[in-house]
């Protein structure tokens, strides 16, 4: 008799424990609080950091007010805004290419332009990436920029 009671109690405890457990794994606290927030993955963050370092280096050159860079595969696309009364010359373009290659040895090809529209496009892409969009979402725009700069 005691055996039956013990068996029934054990069985009821087992069932209640099974029924009360959460079968889904717990989500990360940040994921629960902000489900629409996307983390920038490590590779994208590294590419953005490298891009920003190149842009900062280019802005330090005389005659350049602003620069925006995007790295895609082994290519870097750099757009610059020239200072007032400054000219974008082949010499300056070659200097930017040389400095960028020194700054980041992983880059094989560097393309430079002073087109303000391309500057805004690159800047928008970088902004979108910083907001958590993936590089995959930006490939089409980056390829458009690449075609324009390579002309």
- 42-150: CATH topology is GMP Synthetase; Chain A, domain 3 (3.30.300)
Residue 26 has phi, psi (to 5 degrees) of -70, 140
| Mean of all residue pLDDT scores within the chain | 83
> Could you read off the pLDDT of 75-107 as tens digits, one per residue?
999 999 999 999 999 999 999 999 999 999 999
0.85 exceeded by pTM: no
| pLDDT-based confidence at residue 146 (cuts at 50, 70, 90) | very high
d(CA 58, CA 43): 23
Per domain, the residue ranges of the chain are 42-150
Q: Does the pLDDT of residue 122 top 60, yes or no?
A: yes
Per residue in 8-40, pLDDT tens? Answer: 676 667 666 665 556 555 554 444 454 443 444
């Amino acid at each position: 008799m005691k055996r039956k009671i013990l068996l029934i109690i054990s069985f009821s405890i087992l069932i209640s424990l099974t029924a009360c457990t959460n079968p889904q794994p717990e989500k990360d606290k940040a994921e629960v609080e902000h489900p629409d927030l996307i983390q920038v993955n490590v590779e994208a963050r590294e590419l953005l950091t490298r891009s920003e370092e190149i842009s900062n280096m280019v802005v330090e050159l005389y005659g350049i007010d602003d620069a925006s860079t995007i790295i895609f595969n082994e290519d870097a696309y750099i757009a610059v805004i020239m200072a007032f009364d400054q000219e974008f010359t082949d010499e300056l373009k070659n200097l930017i290419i040389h400095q960028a290659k020194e700054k980041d040895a992983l880059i094989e090809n560097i393309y430079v332009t002073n087109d303000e529209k391309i500057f805004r496009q690159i800047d928008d892409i970088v902004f979108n990436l910083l907001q958590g969009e993936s590089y995959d979402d930006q490939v089409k725009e980056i390829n458009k920029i690449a075609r324009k700069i390579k002309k």
